Amino acid sequence: MEKKLVSVIIPVYNEGEKIFDNVSEINQYLDTKLYDFEIVLVDDGSKDNTWGEITRLSDNFDNVRGLRLSRNFGKEAALCAGIENVNPDACIIMDSDLQHPPEIIPEMLKLWAVDGFDVVEGVKIARGRERFINKICALSFYKVLHMMSGIDLDRASDFKLLDAKVIEALKTMGERNTFFRGMSAWTGFNRASIPFEVKERNSGRSKWSAFKLMKLAINAITSFSSMPLYIVTFLGALFLAGSFILGLQTLYMKFRNIAVSGFTTVILLLLIIGSTLMISLGIIGTYIAKIYEEVKGRPRYLVSEKTDKFQALDAGNYAREENLLK
């Protein structure tokens, strides 16, 4: 029987220092007796020597391929680039900093190949050491997302195995602004999970700035829920009810000629209504910006280079398609 092909997709951003060792280590956990493996490294526009290291890796290991994006498009886009450029029986997606332990890869493969699960997710037992403020922000983000979209991602990670079926499904999702974790949860399918402990980064710092994380959070919520728009309507209704009562009271006072100079009320009302209007407009604006981005239909990423082996593989695929057409 022919061995199944598993692609390990790893987005890499400014990890030149450690990427060689990390990928070599990951490679040791790939048992080639049972499956064929390829490791696909997507360089997300790194500014250090990452691409050099990736070419070195691909010269040293037969099964390593590299793909270089033309600039930093973000981890989400790098993952898309990886997925769209492979054609395996299953994909494993993981980080390059060994925070996703390669030790559990054999177990993931077993759950997929033997037990027939289509998605095997790595689930964090504990979030590794991180700043207190990050922890609070992450937790409240997941709470809000769960409340609004019903998708529960607390403890979910990007460490996953996806069957070819799921990859096909993901490829059909045309949105440009992707939130990978949410999208793969949205697809459904037969899922299993494996708990793992997040280790500390073995070098360097996390590549996520507070701003990048905030962008991801807003993108995730607006991608999976229209609830904020409904909340705006709901607030409007609430204020209408309030103004009805206040209106009645004002008229009553007026007709009984006991109306006093109610400045406080006026100022408070102005402030509350003014700020609510501003926030509402902001929320609506966020959605319009999203529509605008999707309508422009720009590609999610641009590839600037591929390692030699990747090109050979592409040529092979191309020849195969040509033959099929004949």
Binding site for ligand UDP (CB under 6 A): 11-13, 15, 44, 72, 74-75, 78, 95-97, 99, 206-208
Q: Is 22 in the site for Mg ion (CB under 5 A)?
A: no
The interface with Mg ion within residues 96-115 (CB under 5 A) comprises 97, 99
Q: Is 279 exposed, middle or buried (0-12, 13-18, 19+ CB in 10 A)?
A: middle
Between 169 and 198, CB nearer to Mg ion: 198
Is the distance from CB of 185 to CB of 263 less than 8 angstroms?
A: no
**The entry of Mg ion, ligand UDP, none that residue 13 binds, CB within 5 to 8 Å by partner kind:** ligand UDP
Span interacting with Mg ion, options 11-19, 83-91, 94-102, 278-286, rule CB under 5 A: 94-102
* Residue 302: closest CA among 176, 202, 214, 163: 176
**The entry of Mg ion, ligand UDP, none that residue 208 binds, CB within 5 to 8 Å by partner kind:** ligand UDP
Q: Is 15 in the site for Mg ion (CB under 5 A)?
A: no
**The entry of ligand UDP, Mg ion, none that residue 250 binds, CB within 5 to 8 Å by partner kind:** none
Between 55 and 99, CB nearer to ligand UDP: 99
Dihedral sign for Cα atoms in the order 283, 288, 290, 291: positive
Between 99 and 149, CB nearer to ligand UDP: 99
Exposure of 163 in the CB half-sphere (CA atoms within 13 A): 18
Between 75 and 160, CB nearer to ligand UDP: 75
Is the distance from CB of 30 to CB of 37 less than 8 angstroms?
A: yes
Least Å distance, CB 206 to Mg ion, is 6
Distances (CA, A) of 106 to 26, 38, 90, 118, 319: 11, 15, 13, 15, 33
| Pairwise CA distance, residues 65 & 59, whole Å | 9
User: Which residues would be at the binding site for Mg ion (CB under 5 A)?
Assistant: 95, 97, 99
